[in-house]
Protein backbone atom coordinates (compact mmCIF):
# COMPACT_ATOMS: atom_id res chain seq x y z
CA UNK A 1 0.00 0.00 0.00
CA UNK A 2 3.04 2.31 -0.02
CA UNK A 3 2.15 3.59 -3.49
CA UNK A 4 -1.11 5.00 -2.10
CA UNK A 5 0.41 6.82 0.91
CA UNK A 6 -0.75 10.47 0.93
CA UNK A 7 -2.96 9.78 -2.08
CA UNK A 8 -6.63 10.81 -2.07
CA UNK A 9 -9.50 8.31 -1.81
CA UNK A 10 -13.14 9.40 -2.08
CA UNK A 11 -15.87 7.29 -0.47
CA UNK A 12 -19.28 8.28 -1.83
CA UNK A 13 -21.15 7.46 1.38
CA UNK A 14 -19.30 7.73 4.68
CA UNK A 15 -22.49 7.33 6.70
CA UNK A 16 -23.07 3.61 6.31
CA UNK A 17 -21.17 0.78 8.01
CA UNK A 18 -19.24 -0.28 4.92
CA UNK A 19 -18.23 3.27 4.02
CA UNK A 20 -16.97 4.00 7.55
CA UNK A 21 -14.98 0.77 7.72
CA UNK A 22 -13.39 1.31 4.30
CA UNK A 23 -12.44 4.84 5.32
CA UNK A 24 -10.80 3.56 8.49
CA UNK A 25 -8.85 0.85 6.63
CA UNK A 26 -7.51 3.27 4.00
CA UNK A 27 -6.71 6.04 6.48
CA UNK A 28 -4.72 3.59 8.59
CA UNK A 29 -2.33 2.98 5.70
CA UNK A 30 -1.70 6.70 5.18
CA UNK A 31 -4.28 7.79 2.59
CA UNK A 32 -6.20 11.05 2.65
CA UNK A 33 -9.74 9.69 2.81
CA UNK A 34 -12.68 11.93 1.90
CA UNK A 35 -16.22 10.89 2.73
CA UNK A 36 -19.47 12.29 1.34
CA UNK A 37 -22.91 12.39 2.95
CA UNK A 38 -25.85 14.77 2.63
CA UNK A 39 -26.98 14.42 6.27
CA UNK A 40 -25.16 16.92 8.51
CA UNK A 41 -26.21 15.17 11.73
CA UNK A 42 -24.86 11.88 10.44
CA UNK A 43 -21.61 13.58 9.42
CA UNK A 44 -21.19 14.80 13.00
CA UNK A 45 -21.60 11.25 14.30
CA UNK A 46 -19.03 9.97 11.81
CA UNK A 47 -16.61 12.74 12.81
CA UNK A 48 -17.00 11.83 16.47
CA UNK A 49 -16.36 8.18 15.67
CA UNK A 50 -13.07 8.96 14.00
CA UNK A 51 -11.82 11.50 16.57
CA UNK A 52 -10.33 8.87 18.86
CA UNK A 53 -8.79 6.95 15.95
CA UNK A 54 -7.01 9.93 14.44
CA UNK A 55 -4.74 10.41 17.40
CA UNK A 56 -3.84 6.76 17.91
CA UNK A 57 -4.19 4.55 14.86
CA UNK A 58 -4.50 6.58 11.67
CA UNK A 59 -1.45 7.55 9.63
CA UNK A 60 -3.43 9.41 6.99
CA UNK A 61 -6.22 11.94 7.16
CA UNK A 62 -10.02 11.84 7.20
CA UNK A 63 -12.06 14.64 5.65
CA UNK A 64 -15.86 14.81 5.55
CA UNK A 65 -17.96 16.77 3.06
CA UNK A 66 -21.65 17.55 3.24
CA UNK A 67 -22.69 16.59 -0.29
CA UNK A 68 -25.75 15.17 -2.02
CA UNK A 69 -24.19 13.02 -4.73
CA UNK A 70 -27.39 13.14 -6.82
CA UNK A 71 -26.91 16.94 -7.12
CA UNK A 72 -24.41 17.49 -9.93
CA UNK A 73 -23.69 21.10 -8.92
CA UNK A 74 -22.80 20.05 -5.38
CA UNK A 75 -20.63 17.24 -6.73
CA UNK A 76 -18.75 19.53 -9.08
CA UNK A 77 -18.17 22.03 -6.28
CA UNK A 78 -16.84 19.38 -3.90
CA UNK A 79 -14.55 17.81 -6.50
CA UNK A 80 -13.24 21.28 -7.34
CA UNK A 81 -12.45 21.84 -3.64
CA UNK A 82 -10.62 18.50 -3.54
CA UNK A 83 -8.63 19.53 -6.62
CA UNK A 84 -7.71 22.90 -5.11
CA UNK A 85 -6.69 21.36 -1.77
CA UNK A 86 -5.17 17.99 -2.71
CA UNK A 87 -4.60 18.30 -6.50
CA UNK A 88 -7.15 15.62 -7.32
CA UNK A 89 -8.59 12.17 -6.67
CA UNK A 90 -6.60 8.92 -6.94
CA UNK A 91 -9.10 6.33 -5.70
CA UNK A 92 -12.90 6.36 -5.86
CA UNK A 93 -15.04 3.88 -3.95
CA UNK A 94 -18.65 4.04 -5.15
CA UNK A 95 -20.45 2.54 -2.15
CA UNK A 96 -23.53 4.78 -1.95
CA UNK A 97 -26.82 3.05 -2.73
CA UNK A 98 -30.58 3.37 -2.44
CA UNK A 99 -32.24 0.04 -1.64
CA UNK A 100 -36.00 0.32 -1.23
CA UNK A 101 -38.94 -1.86 -2.22
CA UNK A 102 -40.01 -0.90 -5.72
CA UNK A 103 -41.39 -3.05 -8.53
CA UNK A 104 -40.86 -2.13 -12.17
CA UNK A 105 -44.57 -2.52 -12.97
CA UNK A 106 -46.23 -1.09 -9.86
CA UNK A 107 -43.59 0.82 -7.87
CA UNK A 108 -43.92 4.51 -7.08
CA UNK A 109 -42.24 6.62 -9.75
CA UNK A 110 -40.59 8.75 -7.06
CA UNK A 111 -38.99 5.61 -5.58
CA UNK A 112 -37.97 4.56 -9.07
CA UNK A 113 -36.26 7.92 -9.60
CA UNK A 114 -34.52 7.85 -6.21
CA UNK A 115 -33.08 4.40 -6.92
CA UNK A 116 -31.86 5.34 -10.41
CA UNK A 117 -30.48 8.71 -9.28
CA UNK A 118 -28.39 7.22 -6.48
CA UNK A 119 -27.37 3.86 -7.89
CA UNK A 120 -26.70 4.85 -11.50
CA UNK A 121 -26.71 8.60 -12.14
CA UNK A 122 -24.66 9.57 -9.07
CA UNK A 123 -22.22 6.69 -9.56
CA UNK A 124 -21.58 7.67 -13.16
CA UNK A 125 -21.27 11.37 -12.22
CA UNK A 126 -18.74 10.63 -9.45
CA UNK A 127 -16.83 8.32 -11.77
CA UNK A 128 -16.61 10.94 -14.51
CA UNK A 129 -15.33 13.59 -12.11
CA UNK A 130 -12.81 11.29 -10.42
CA UNK A 131 -11.57 9.76 -13.67
CA UNK A 132 -11.28 13.22 -15.21
CA UNK A 133 -8.97 14.19 -12.36
CA UNK A 134 -6.83 11.07 -12.89
CA UNK A 135 -6.63 11.53 -16.66
CA UNK A 136 -5.79 15.23 -16.40
CA UNK A 137 -2.85 14.51 -14.08
CA UNK A 138 -1.83 11.35 -15.99
CA UNK A 139 -1.72 9.59 -12.64
CA UNK A 140 -2.38 6.06 -11.47
CA UNK A 141 -6.00 5.65 -10.39
CA UNK A 142 -8.50 3.03 -9.26
CA UNK A 143 -12.30 3.03 -9.21
CA UNK A 144 -14.05 0.40 -7.11
CA UNK A 145 -17.79 -0.15 -7.35
CA UNK A 146 -19.45 -1.85 -4.39
CA UNK A 147 -22.22 -3.85 -6.03
CA UNK A 148 -24.71 -6.54 -5.05
CA UNK A 149 -24.85 -10.23 -5.96
CA UNK A 150 -28.44 -9.72 -7.11
CA UNK A 151 -26.98 -8.16 -10.28
CA UNK A 152 -25.67 -11.65 -11.15
CA UNK A 153 -28.11 -13.92 -9.35
CA UNK A 154 -31.62 -12.50 -9.62
CA UNK A 155 -33.76 -13.69 -6.68
CA UNK A 156 -36.83 -15.73 -7.62
CA UNK A 157 -39.00 -13.51 -5.45
CA UNK A 158 -38.17 -9.91 -4.66
CA UNK A 159 -39.91 -6.60 -4.03
CA UNK A 160 -36.76 -4.73 -5.11
CA UNK A 161 -36.76 -5.34 -8.85
CA UNK A 162 -35.85 -1.73 -9.72
CA UNK A 163 -32.87 -1.95 -7.34
CA UNK A 164 -31.83 -5.22 -9.00
CA UNK A 165 -32.06 -3.61 -12.45
CA UNK A 166 -29.97 -0.66 -11.26
CA UNK A 167 -27.28 -2.94 -9.85
CA UNK A 168 -27.23 -4.97 -13.07
CA UNK A 169 -26.66 -1.71 -14.93
CA UNK A 170 -23.63 -0.98 -12.73
CA UNK A 171 -22.17 -4.39 -13.61
CA UNK A 172 -22.37 -3.34 -17.27
CA UNK A 173 -21.00 0.16 -16.58
CA UNK A 174 -18.03 -1.38 -14.77
CA UNK A 175 -17.10 -3.49 -17.81
CA UNK A 176 -17.67 -0.58 -20.20
CA UNK A 177 -15.34 1.62 -18.13
CA UNK A 178 -12.63 -1.04 -18.21
CA UNK A 179 -12.70 -1.05 -22.01
CA UNK A 180 -12.91 2.75 -22.24
CA UNK A 181 -9.86 3.22 -20.01
CA UNK A 182 -7.94 0.66 -22.07
CA UNK A 183 -8.93 2.46 -25.29
CA UNK A 184 -7.86 5.80 -23.82
CA UNK A 185 -4.55 4.22 -22.68
CA UNK A 186 -4.85 5.65 -19.19
CA UNK A 187 -3.53 4.04 -16.02
CA UNK A 188 -6.91 3.62 -14.31
CA UNK A 189 -8.20 0.31 -12.99
CA UNK A 190 -11.86 -0.42 -12.34
CA UNK A 191 -13.19 -3.23 -10.15
CA UNK A 192 -16.69 -4.48 -9.43
CA UNK A 193 -17.22 -6.07 -5.98
CA UNK A 194 -20.58 -7.84 -5.79
CA UNK A 195 -21.52 -8.68 -2.21
CA UNK A 196 -24.06 -11.05 -0.77
CA UNK A 197 -25.99 -10.41 2.45
CA UNK A 198 -23.81 -8.33 4.77
CA UNK A 199 -24.14 -8.05 8.52
CA UNK A 200 -25.05 -4.66 9.96
CA UNK A 201 -23.33 -3.09 12.95
CA UNK A 202 -26.78 -1.94 14.05
CA UNK A 203 -27.88 -5.54 14.59
CA UNK A 204 -28.17 -6.52 18.24
CA UNK A 205 -27.08 -10.08 17.53
CA UNK A 206 -24.48 -10.50 14.80
CA UNK A 207 -24.57 -13.66 12.73
CA UNK A 208 -21.43 -15.77 12.34
CA UNK A 209 -22.67 -16.97 8.96
CA UNK A 210 -23.21 -13.65 7.20
CA UNK A 211 -20.63 -11.69 5.24
CA UNK A 212 -18.71 -9.35 7.53
CA UNK A 213 -18.35 -5.62 6.95
CA UNK A 214 -14.66 -5.75 7.84
CA UNK A 215 -14.11 -8.46 5.21
CA UNK A 216 -15.49 -6.20 2.47
CA UNK A 217 -13.28 -3.32 3.65
CA UNK A 218 -10.20 -5.56 3.77
CA UNK A 219 -10.96 -6.77 0.25
CA UNK A 220 -10.98 -3.17 -1.00
CA UNK A 221 -7.54 -2.66 0.53
CA UNK A 222 -6.31 -5.96 -0.91
CA UNK A 223 -7.45 -5.00 -4.42
CA UNK A 224 -5.74 -1.62 -4.16
CA UNK A 225 -2.56 -3.42 -3.09
CA UNK A 226 -2.31 -5.50 -6.29
CA UNK A 227 0.69 -4.92 -8.60
CA UNK A 228 0.29 -2.03 -11.01
CA UNK A 229 0.13 -4.33 -14.05
CA UNK A 230 -2.61 -6.51 -12.53
CA UNK A 231 -6.29 -5.63 -12.69
CA UNK A 232 -9.06 -7.37 -10.77
CA UNK A 233 -12.11 -7.01 -13.04
CA UNK A 234 -14.73 -8.27 -10.61
CA UNK A 235 -15.13 -10.20 -7.39
CA UNK A 236 -18.24 -12.01 -6.21
CA UNK A 237 -18.28 -12.63 -2.47
CA UNK A 238 -20.71 -14.19 -0.02
CA UNK A 239 -20.62 -16.25 3.15
CA UNK A 240 -19.92 -19.97 2.74
CA UNK A 241 -23.41 -20.92 3.98
CA UNK A 242 -25.40 -18.75 1.59
CATH code for the domain of 162 = 3.40.50.720
pLDDT value for 204 = 45
What pLDDT digit, counting tens, does each position of 180-196 carry? 999 999 999 999 999 98
* 242 occurs within a structural domain: no
* 84 occurs within a structural domain: yes
* 100 occurs within a structural domain: yes
* 105 occurs within a structural domain: yes
Query: Which residue range is the domain that position 120 belongs to?
Result: 2-237
Helix (H) or strand (E) holding 144: strand 141-148
* 148 occurs within a structural domain: yes
* 55 occurs within a structural domain: yes
What pLDDT digit, counting tens, does each position of 152-211 carry? 877 777 888 999 999 999 999 999 999 999 999 999 999 999 998 888 755 544 556 678
pTM > 0.75: yes
Hey, how many other C-beta atoms are within 10 angstroms of the C-beta on 88?
21
pLDDT value for 54 = 58
Please state, in angstroms and as integers, the Cα–Cα distance from residue 50 to each residue in 28, 57, 162, following that order: 11, 10, 35
Average pLDDT, the chain: 90
* 191 occurs within a structural domain: yes
* 93 occurs within a structural domain: yes
Q: Give me the number of domains the chain comprises.
A: 1
What pLDDT digit, counting tens, does each position of 121-150 carry? 999 999 999 999 999 999 999 999 999 998
Amino acid sequence: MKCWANKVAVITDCGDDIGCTIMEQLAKVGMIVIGFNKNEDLLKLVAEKFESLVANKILGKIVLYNCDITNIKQLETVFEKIKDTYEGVDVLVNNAYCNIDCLVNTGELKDFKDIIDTNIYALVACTRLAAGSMIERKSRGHIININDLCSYQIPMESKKTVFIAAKAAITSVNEILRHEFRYLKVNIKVTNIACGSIESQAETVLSDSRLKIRDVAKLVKLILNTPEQLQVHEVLIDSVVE
